Structure 1
Amino acid sequence: MKRFFHSAGYRWFLLCCAYVVVAAAVMNGFYTKWRLNDGHPALGLSQMVEGTAHRPYVYRQFIPALANGVQALLPPATVARLSERLSEPRRVNSRSGLAMRYPGSEALLPAVTLRYHLVYYLTFVALLASLFVMRRLCLQAGATAVASTAAPAVLALMLPFFLTEGGYFYDFVELLFVMSAVLLALGGSRQTPMRLAGLVALAGLATWNKESFFFFTPALYPLLRRNLPRPQSAALVAVLLLVCGSVYLALRMRYAGNPGSTVDYQLWDNLRYYADPGNWLRTESTYGVLLPRGFGIVTVLAFAGIAVNGWARLPPALRGHARVALCINLPLFLLFCSPGEMRNLSMLYPSLLCLLALALDKWLAPHARTDPAVIPDVR
């Protein structure tokens, strides 16, 4: 029995339990803040799964398409029975349903309730999977097992704070895709053709989830250059752009008749917003507590400290990636994103994660030297 509790398998079991709890807490923080935009006429969940949402939201169809596909595979009688059970009005006062204490939830609409639950739990699975991908990425960046285990949890718990002007299920799927893309690109070489093929396939799925992945692909070039010659790295990025562009074009053609527009120009609104000192001190309720908003002086101070302590330890390839991602993401953020919408700096999530892990290594180093009972490596 003692051998079992000291085994690598049991340590993995504990890690899985910890990450499930973290993912559940993050989903709750997101869902109680935004739900699935229930009742919103332009981007509610019912509009998303039916394909009638406004542009550009309707382009983010990866998870809705999966939910529609799963429902289509089930016999109509099974769908009707599950929908009737899931949409029972009693679930408003039950701890077993998503409509708990919210009578206006679209989870109570029989026509979409099954897909509503599928979207919710597929999002949860994507968030949970991203924690393990992030842990692996931290290890690849050179962080210790302790920091590599803690950093993904810390970053995930910060996500609801970034959802200031809006929160959407596809933001969590995007987290999985950008982290996976960086991990694949970091280890891609001529000796790993399947990894490179997986990166190409992932690019198409990631664009199906959110069209901004098209702009993220050039930031993978410094990572590919780690093991590939310059011409092959550039050619692979060109292929990724072609795949992303093709998927995006297909989505635009498919939903060309939907209301809305492709992008909104918001540069002047952003400049006015960031020039107002009061906006740097605003608060909002996150995790049920009134706390500083995702964009503000507290966040900037925290991220500055993480960058200062982690940058010197960041491998050259990841430094190059961070620079390119910043040069791409920041102009797009200022030009097209709502003021203070931190979630739209998502191209910087991998860099923030690695910097956080390496900064944690530095901060925990004195304790690691004096305490031999550190968390074991469960790579």
Structure 2
Amino acid sequence: MLQQSRFSRLSGWILLVFIYYIAAASSFGGFMLKWQFSEGTRYTLPMMLDGTADRPFVYRQLLPMVANEVGALIPERVQASFLNKLAEDPPVSNPIHRYFPNASDAANPRYALRYFVVYALSFVSMFMAMFLVRAVCLEMKFDKTAATLTPLVIALIFPLIQTEGGYFYDMPELMFMALGTLLAARGKTVMLAIVTIVATLNKESYLLFLLTLMPLMMTRFSIKRTAVTTGGLLVLAALVNMAIKHKYALNNGGVIEFQLSSHLQYLLNPRNYLRTEINYGMLTTKGFNLLNLLLFALVFKTGWQGLPRHARQQGLIGIVLTVPLFIAFCYRDELRNLSFMWMTFALAVCATISVALSAAHARADNESKSQSSLEDLESRISHKQQAVATR
């Protein structure tokens, strides 16, 4: 019999951090290979940093604001040294431009430092989101193994849902949605208010996401207190929204982009359910490909019933909010715009993994019992044969 070695809590966390880091790096690398930071568009990172990008993209100001503040705080001598280092042996001396040649803005001396700041913060957001998704799964009382595996699934498929566009604020959005879900489930309303302000600076749609948190808060508070708390959070988010929209009211573009007609035409074309694209350097299905729809259906079919009631209610509110908004205002086949459903999907994945592990354990137990019964039968037969031989 193999001797079991002891596995300390510290060792477990070290391994977890390393594995999640590699998964987050893979996910972020997949995003950068496809989209960089929107070079060549009407909403490049330099335009976001300068506040000249088209609306509604310019509203997503959290990381640009942080990058601008960091740039203002770092002494000019340090910035000059950094830029000189980047220019020593291009593109080798510039790691972003070296590995992502289309990320041309990373080599622009005027924006390079702030580009690196946004680059780092975007990656850190994905890295932190993985731990937060795991914490949400544990908060919903799923077993630790399933909760630990779920963020790996979410991180690795994240570039696949950035089908027609991918943006630096997508990773913080996932992080803030996971954090908001966790805080709501724990009844941490003051912290949730702070997160609401910051998350709305990252993307204005966080205002509507707050409505999906009501069933989670109702596990801690009365209906009246939940309604008052949610109302207060909505006011906070609305104030941030109004301030940002007022600041950039004169920018090109509009507050929203109406896509209903073109989106319906797209959804009614059967050929659009067979599309493919390249992810991680290999051919994969794209968007509403039939295989993707089948996989999503399998996950929800298996995992939905395993979700706690309040998690299912959160998902239903997310569906009610998402479907009409997605069809009316979002670009065709852009799965990243189904973000209100991300936490529900993560929990469904966790429940599915839990079911699969339970089934595997049950099979292993049955096989072990069958083996034990067979060994017991063989032992009795052997004893009888020995008794006969003795006579």
TM-score by length of 2: 0.89
Amino acid corresponding to residue 170 of structure 2 in structure 1: D
Instruction: Establish whether residue 301 from structure 1 lines up as the match of residue 294 from structure 2.
Output: yes
The answer on whether the counterparts of 2:27 and 2:155 sit within 8 Å (CA) in structure 1 is yes
Amino acid corresponding to residue 15 of structure 2 in structure 1: L
Separation of aligned partners in 2, 1:365 and 1:285: 34
Separation of aligned partners in 1, 2:241 and 2:5: 50
Residues matched between the structures, number: 363
Change (3 A) 1:319 1:106: same
Rg (Cα) greater in structure: 2
The answer on whether the counterparts of 2:275 and 2:287 sit within 8 Å (CA) in structure 1 is no
Amino acid corresponding to residue 33 of structure 1 in structure 2: K
TM-score by length of 1: 0.92
Separation of aligned partners in 2, 1:248 and 1:26: 29
Deviation at 1:79, TM superposition (A): 1.4
Could you list the per-position Cα deviations for residues 111-133 of structure 1 after superposition, in whole angstroms to 9, with x for gaps in the alignment? Answer: 00000011011011111000000
Separation of aligned partners in 1, 2:237 and 2:364: 48
Deviation at 1:371, TM superposition (A): 6.4
Could you list the per-position Cα deviations for residues 185-219 of structure 1 after superposition, in whole angstroms to 9, with x for gaps in the alignment? Answer: 1111xxxxxx2100011111111000011111111
Deviation at 1:95, TM superposition (A): 7.8
**1:26-105 correspondence runs (5 A):** 26-40=27-41, 42-86=42-86, 88=87, 90-93=89-92, 96-100=95-99, 102=101, 105=104
Equivalent residue, structure 1, for 2:352: 359
Separation of aligned partners in 2, 1:320 and 1:207: 23
Indicate which of 192, 197, 206 corresponds to 1:199: 192
Equivalent residue, structure 1, for 2:215: 222
**1:271-282 correspondence runs (5 A):** 271-282=264-275
Separation of aligned partners in 2, 1:3 and 1:255: 62
Change (3 A) 1:101 1:344: closer
Indicate which of 298, 310, 323 corresponds to 2:316: 323
Instruction: Establish whether residue 163 from structure 1 lines up as the match of residue 156 from structure 2.
Output: no
Instruction: Establish whether residue 114 from structure 1 lines up as the match of residue 113 from structure 2.
Output: yes
Deviation at 1:263, TM superposition (A): 0.7
The answer on whether the counterparts of 1:170 and 1:210 sit within 8 Å (CA) in structure 2 is yes
Equivalent residue, structure 2, for 1:377: none
The answer on whether the counterparts of 1:91 and 1:100 sit within 8 Å (CA) in structure 2 is no
Amino acid corresponding to residue 74 of structure 2 in structure 1: L
Instruction: Establish whether residue 12 from structure 1 lines up as the match of residue 13 from structure 2.
Output: yes
Change (3 A) 1:108 1:308: same
Change (3 A) 1:50 1:8: same
**1:168-187 correspondence runs (5 A):** 168-187=167-186
Amino acid corresponding to residue 26 of structure 1 in structure 2: S
Equivalent residue, structure 1, for 2:378: none
Change (3 A) 1:354 1:235: same
- For the residue of structure 2 that corresponds to 1:139, the secondary structure is helix
RMSD of Structure 2 on Structure 1 (CA) = 1.8
Could you list the per-position Cα deviations for residues 291-312 of structure 1 after superposition, in whole angstroms to 9, with x for gaps in the alignment? Answer: 1103221111111111111111
Separation of aligned partners in 2, 1:103 and 1:345: 27
Change (3 A) 1:125 1:5: farther
Indicate which of 321, 325, 331 corresponds to 1:332: 325
Deviation at 1:104, TM superposition (A): 6.0
Structure 2 unaligned spans of 5+: 366-391
Q: Pick 1 or 2: higher relative contact order, CA cutoff 8 A, min separation 6.
A: 1
Equivalent residue, structure 1, for 2:254: 261
Separation of aligned partners in 1, 2:103 and 2:138: 44
